[in-house]
Amino acid sequence: MRRDHDPVRGSGIPPLGLAATALAFMVAALLLALATRVVIPALNPRVEVEPIILWFASASVVVFAPLLLIAYSLLRQEAAIAQPDLWPELWRVRLRFRPMTKTGWMWSVAALVLVGLLSGGTLAVLRLLWGDVDPHPAFMAPIDSGRYWILAAWVPFWVLNVVGEELLWRGVLLPRQEVAFGRWAWLANGVGWLFFHVSFGATIRTWFNGAGTHGSAL
């Protein structure tokens, strides 16, 4: 089995090929579908809280906490096979906690601008074709006056969301994909990440149905 050098472990990172990549993101997509298609619709008529709070709670328990546990288990397994005494350092290296270079900042800013332009352009085309298209699921209604308290509830969810996803996608899977796919690892990771979010809801399906209205994902 081909392995790449790991500066912490020394013995190498196990590769993650196409089949394993597809399986990993498929499991995550199923968890997200479970939260949005089953858990939230089941709780919504029974619990008198904001739908977005149901999203925070269900996604935290059903999606992001499991992703974090999977990432922890995979890294723990790697450390056990190689050098257990370097386990704490493995987290720092795999998450790439190091100062960004000038080139890194330039790429990050350029990518952020490009994503914003592409997102806005895509939404503009969809609204031109089908009218007032809302890109958000029904339970993510805009936060208006008198509901800003939701932002406080969003903060811990955001931390779990970012840590749960980034640790698994970029900290655990991407280095393994770099061994298997080389310079194209980012593409395999990005396509998988896209597939994970397509399962998020029926809003995208509503676009293609030409409904042109606030599509309900539930």
Q: In this predicted structure, what is the pLDDT of residue 83? A: 62
Q: Which two tokens stand for residue 214?
A: 């606030």
218 neighbors 40 (Cβ within 8 angstroms): yes
Q: Is 216 helix (H, G, I), strand (E, B) or coil?
A: coil
| Mean predicted confidence (pLDDT) in 87-91 | 71
User: pLDDT tens-digit profile of 138-166?
Assistant: 666 667 777 778 888 788 888 888 877 88
Across all residues in the chain, what is the average pLDDT?
78
d(CA 217, CA 138): 6
Residues 11-32: tens digit of each pLDDT: 468 889 999 999 999 999 999 8
Question: Residue 86 carries which side chain, given as an amino acid letter?
Answer: L
Confidence of residue 173 (pLDDT cuts 50, 70, 90): very high
Amino acid at 197: H
Give the pLDDT score at 114.
Answer: 92
The answer to whether 87 touches 9, Cβ cutoff 8 Å, is no
With 70 as the cut, is the pLDDT of residue 103 above it?
yes
pLDDT of residue 208: 34
Least confident of 6-10, 161-165, 195-199: 6-10
* C-beta of residue 25 within 8 angstroms of C-beta of residue 193: yes
Could you tell me the CA-to-CA distances from 18 to 153, 174, 185 in Å, in that order?
37, 12, 10
Does residue 86 surpass a pLDDT of 70?
no
Q: Where are the domains of the chain?
A: 18-97+107-209
- Span 106-131, pLDDT tens digits: 999 999 999 889 888 888 888 888 87
Cα–Cα distance measured from residue 36 to residue 84, given in angstroms and rounded to the nearest whole number: 38
**0.85 surpassed by pTM:** no
pLDDT of residue 141: 66
The residues, any chain, with a CB within 8 Å of residue 173's CB and separated by 6 or more, are 16, 21, 24, 189, 192
